[in-house]
Amino acid sequence: MASASTAPSSNIVLYTAQTPNGIKASIALEELGLPYETHGIEISENVQKQPWFLEINPNGRIPALTDTLDGRKIRVFESGAILQYLAERYDKDHRISYPAGTPEYWEVTSWLMWQMGGLGPMQGQANHFKRYAPEKITYGINRYGNETRRLYRVMDEHLAKSPHGYLVGDRVTIADISCWGWVASHTWAGVSINDFPHLEKWLKALLARPGFEKGRHVPSRHGAFDNDGLTEEELERKAEKARGWVQKSMADDAKR
């Protein structure tokens, strides 16, 4: 968390977990130098489905945050909405954004929606069929793995033409932040990054930023890169530990 003596004032409480979506908000907060409190959510115990949390996010997912606006407590949920909220309310110097209405602003918005509607959902399904499904369904594994690779190729080809190495313009933005955690988790989805040199360069360049390095370890250690050195057998044993609670959570959702 940023030092309150050097950061703008806020009353942000971040409710999050160690997932590609969860670390978006903490990375943005660290890049902006905003003070915030962290409330870690144990998703394996379905804390996000408890009544108190549903008052913050009725969809029962992380991340979510609360803040104060005009003297009233507000909630913001969905990771893309959180990134837009932080940029539009707190990024007055446009450290991770561009002024509203500029061509760059709309380009950032386009890539943010691309991630929310494409990269995240498709790689999330790749994760599910590759690691969490109770049976190996080749069609699902191939369908979503190949679509994730296609989306990586879109990013790779775009970054190849970027003179500054970012998705938009001359600075890191919420568009980069929204995609980074997913690309960092490529091995878990069964996708090699070796075929995407510009994407790999982007991934490593952002990792070197203090805001990314600190923000990715909220609310717990970010271990996505640990998977890169594991064999498929080791990854499968690791997935077994999570498969049970993922299936139970799905069954509980089906009863609601």
Amino acid identity of residue 1, one-letter, is M
Residue 256 has pLDDT above 90, yes or no: no
Give pLDDT, residue 8: 66
CATH T-level topology, domain 103-243: Glutathione S-transferase Yfyf (Class Pi); Chain A, domain 2 (1.20.1050)
Give pLDDT, residue 5: 38
**pLDDT tens digits along 118-166:** 999 999 999 999 999 999 999 999 999 999 999 999 999 999 999 999 9
How large is the average pLDDT for residues 16-29?
98
3-class SS at 74?
A: strand
Give pLDDT, residue 40: 98
How large is the average pLDDT for residues 39-66?
97
Region(s) of the chain under CATH 1.20.1050.10: 103-243
DSSP state of 7: S
Region(s) of the chain under CATH 3.40.30.10: 13-90
Lowest mean pLDDT among 65-69, 137-141, 177-181, 249-253: 249-253
Q: How far apart are CA 157 and CA 180, in angstroms?
A: 16
**pLDDT tens digits along 187-237:** 999 999 999 999 999 999 999 999 999 999 999 999 999 999 999 999 999
On the CB side of 101, CA atoms within 13 Å amount to 0
**pLDDT tens digits along 74-115:** 999 999 999 999 999 999 999 999 999 999 999 999 999 999
List the beta bridge partners of residue 39: 15
How large is the average pLDDT for residues 41-65?
97
Residue 250 has pLDDT above 90, yes or no: no
The residue ranking higher by pLDDT, 249 or 132, is 132
Q: How far apart are CA 125 and CA 144, in angstroms?
A: 6
Q: How far apart are CA 38 and CA 245, in angstroms?
A: 24
Residue linked to tokens 């907060």: 29
Give pLDDT, residue 241: 87
Give pLDDT, residue 2: 41
Residue 240 has pLDDT above 70, yes or no: yes
How large is the average pLDDT for residues 238-243?
91
CATH code of domain 13-90: 3.40.30.10
DSSP state of 168: S
C-beta separation of 36 from 116 below 8 A: no
- Tell how far CA 129 is from the center of its chain: 19
Whole-model pTM? 0.94
